[in-house]
Chains A and B, each alone.
Chain A
Amino acid sequence: MRFAFEVSVSLKPGLADPQGQAVRGALAALGWSGVSRVRVGKHVWLEVEGDTVEAATAQVEEMARRLLSNPVIEDFRVTPGEVS
């Protein structure tokens, strides 16, 4: 079976995000002055083979822990995605 997943990777809450600040500045320049905070993260879509959705999910969570995110600076969330 093929299963698809979305892995959302975000900087840990306490960590300053200069990229987000730059985006906020650019949004303000476009007139959206009411944006108080912006955090920029990453989004990884992947499709994996597996016998069950549980086994595939466990694999993807391991991938997220070992490569897709860096636990020193980032959190991640795995959610089911659409098989293309």
Chain B
Amino acid sequence: MTEPRIGVITFPGSLDDRDALRAVELMGGTGVPLWHADRRLPEVDGLILPGGFSYGDYLRAGAIAARAPIMDAVRGFADGGGPVVGFCNGFQILCEAGLLPGALVRNGSMRFVCRPVHLRVETGRSALTAGLTPGEVVEVPVKHGEGRFVATDEQLRAIDDEGLVAFRYCDANGVTGEATPNGSTGDIAGVRSPAGNVVGLMPHPEHAVDPDVGPTGGQPLFGALFAASMSGIGA
């Protein structure tokens, strides 16, 4: 397999773009730095919208970035089936752009949370879970103040009917309920588009790929992203 080329978009205020590029390289891919003001995408196989506080989170987290010049090209890439994944602020941007259902609002606890969490994979049909088995548990960190997933009743029905939850917060044994760090509806940590090629999650797989500095729960997610980028999501 040739190396997948994964673009990482830097918005003003992105923080985790360097980590995302480094994670792509550590996992054997080629990281392609991209800029929010670009209107075209170079040759890439997948896209990452990284974490941070794009445009200072002014108005709402991700609201301004979702209308940045590059987002028309991102939408075109996603419409063509290309894998587009968002971590933390990237997830907020994808929701604000209407590429994913729901919204992320202030944590129910009123506190910023920064700690490792466990995630239960809910579907193998997404650009971050292709080839993974539902029920599998991975450990990755969260760090956010506005990560409580909410959605309209209509969106929640579609999320249920079409199986759009990609990850739920859980404990080390995969049990949901007590372990959710932010009050998210249904313990939802990440959702996918109906086709599965667009996925967002609040936790940070890009901070969990290097065994020298902590848990490596991000590795299988990058593996899935590379697989989805090279050969699609599969059945």
A68 interface contact, C-beta 8 A = yes
Does B232 touch A at the CB level, under 8 Å? no
Is there contact, CB below 8 Å, between A70 and B152?
no
Q: Could you tell me the distance in whole angstroms from the C-beta of A42 to the nearest C-beta in chain B? A: 8
B106 within 8 A of A: yes
With A15-B150, A16-B183, A67-B63 known as contacts, the answer to whether A72 contacts B155 (CB < 8 A) is yes
Q: Interface size (A, Cβ < 8 Å)?
A: 14
- The answer to whether B60 touches A70 (Cβ under 8 A) is yes
B63 neighbours in A (Cβ, 8 Å): 67, 70
**B106 and A72 within 8 A (CB):** no
Q: How far is the CB of A53 from chain B (nearest CB, A)?
A: 25
Question: Is B175's beta carbon under 8 Å from chain A?
Answer: no
Q: With A and B bound together, what is the CA distance between A42 and B96 in angstroms?
A: 17
What's the minimum C-beta distance from B150 to chain A, rounded to whole angstroms? 6
What is the predominant secondary structure among interface residues of chain B facing chain A?
loop
A11, A68, A70: the one contacting B96 at CB < 8 Å is: A70
- A21 to B110, Cβ gap below 8 A? yes
Complex contact B150–A72 (CB within 8 A): yes
Tell me the residues in window 1-32 of chain A with beta carbons closer than 8 Å to chain B beta carbons.
Answer: 11, 15-19, 21-22
A83 within 8 A of B: no
In the bound complex, do residue A72 and residue B151 qualify as a contact, i.e. CB atoms below 8 Å apart? yes
Counting CB contacts under 8 A, is B27 at the interface? no
B109 at interface by CB-CB < 8 Å: yes
**B216 within 8 A of partner (CB):** no
A67 to B151, CA, bound (A): 18
In the complex, the answer to whether B107 meets A72 with C-beta atoms within 8 Å is no
Partner among A15, A67, A68 whose Cβ is within 8 Å of the Cβ of B105? A15
Task: Decide if B59 touches A67 in the complex (CB within 8 Å).
Answer: yes
Contact partners of A22 in chain B: CB under 8 A: 110
Contact with B along A66-78 (1 / 0, CB 8 A): 0110101100000
Residue numbers in B under 8 Å from A17 (CB-CB): 106
Closest partner residue, chain B, to A73 (CB atom): B103
CB contacts (< 8 Å) of B76 on chain A: these are none
Binary flags per residue of B78-110, CB closer than 8 Å to A gives 1, else 0: 000000000000000001100000110111111
* 8 Å CB interface, B107-136 against A: 107-110
* Nearest-neighbor residue (CB-CB) of B111 within chain A: A18
Asked whether B110 lies within 8 Å of A72 as measured between CB atoms, the reply is no
- Supply 4 further A-B pairs (C-beta < 8 A) apart from A18-B106, A18-B107, A21-B110: A15-B150, A72-B103, A72-B151, A72-B152
Q: Which residues of A contact B (CB under 8 A)?
A: 11, 15-19, 21-22, 42, 67-68, 70, 72-73
A-B contact list, 20 entries, CB within 8 Å: A15-B105, A15-B150, A16-B183, A17-B106, A18-B106, A18-B107, A18-B109, A18-B110, A19-B106, A19-B110, A21-B110, A42-B59, A70-B60, A70-B63, A72-B95, A72-B103, A72-B150, A72-B151, A72-B152, A72-B155
Identify the 5 closest CB pairs spanning chains A and B, nearest first.
A72-B103, A18-B110, A73-B103, A18-B106, A22-B110
